[in-house]
Chain A
Amino acid sequence: VLTQSPLSLPVTPGQTASISCRSSESLVHKDGNTYLNWFHQRPGQSPRRLIYKVSARDSGVPDRFSGSGSGTDFTLTITRVEAEDIGVYYCMHGTHWNVYSFGQGTKLEIK
């Protein structure tokens, strides 16, 4: 089970936002990697992956987005928040053999 916090995150443009994702069990795979991903979903759109394997950014993702953490605790950090960052952020793991799990989602809004 992945638990995100906060579930709602009002942020002033230019400030930094942090979202926590905690797992009920270690997400370290037997191959040594940790398959923890972060997704962003804007209203009315499909989700888009931002971060994979804890901290690797997908192509085209601004370096304002960064992922960190290990084991059971992970964080998505967004620096210099912009209006286009609004939407819902989900963590997701696919570490345990072919069973994927999403967090509840964190809704980021601009103050």
Chain B
Amino acid sequence: EVQLVESGGGLVQTGGSLRLSCAASGFRFSDYWMSWVRQAPGKGLEWVGNIKEDGSEKYYVDSVKGRFSFSRDNAKNSLYLQMNSLKAGDTAVYYCARAYDDGLGAFDIWGRGTVVTVSS
């Protein structure tokens, strides 16, 4: 079964850090771009950014540039999101999702999400 499972969410103070993980199974992870998408409570979907199959290219939405960083370990079929200098506005459910065809075919598979709460 093709699956993505996020983990690592939790409650963190403003200015703190958190590292999210996304474990992939059921498909050749190294063949796909991977993205993070977030959803603030009661709000719509916001693309956070993505990372190329080999990790050589990464793109971020402006609001997280310089604070968030993506990485991946293809040997472990895992995607990571390092979040630093967290703000209240980063509170959201964070989903990982895959994209194919050089990133243009997005997002056919999603995880269930992990909740990040940033509080003072």
Contact = CB atoms under 8 A, between A and B. Distances in A.
Interface of A: 29, 33, 35, 37, 39, 41, 46-49, 52, 58, 88, 90, 92, 94-95, 98-105
Contact of A100 (B35, B44, B110): B35
A102 B61 CA distance: 12
B95 interface: yes
Contact of B108 (A58, A99, A101, A102): A58
B26 to A, nearest CB: 14
Nearest to B59: A98
B interface SS class: strand
B106 to A, nearest CB: 5
Contact of B106 (A33, A90, A92): A92
Contacts of B46: 102
Interface string B28-49: 0000000101000000111100
B108 A49 contact: yes
Contacts of A88: 44
Nearest to B113: A46
22 contacts: A29-B104, A37-B106, A41-B45, A46-B111, A47-B107, A49-B107, A52-B105, A52-B108, A92-B47, A92-B106, A94-B105, A95-B104, A98-B59, A98-B103, A99-B47, A100-B35, A100-B106, A102-B45, A102-B47, A103-B44, A104-B44, A105-B45
B108 A100 contact: no
B50 interface: yes
A46 B35 CA distance: 14
A9 B112 CA distance: 26
B110 A94 contact: no
B45 A94 contact: no
A96 to B, nearest CB: 10
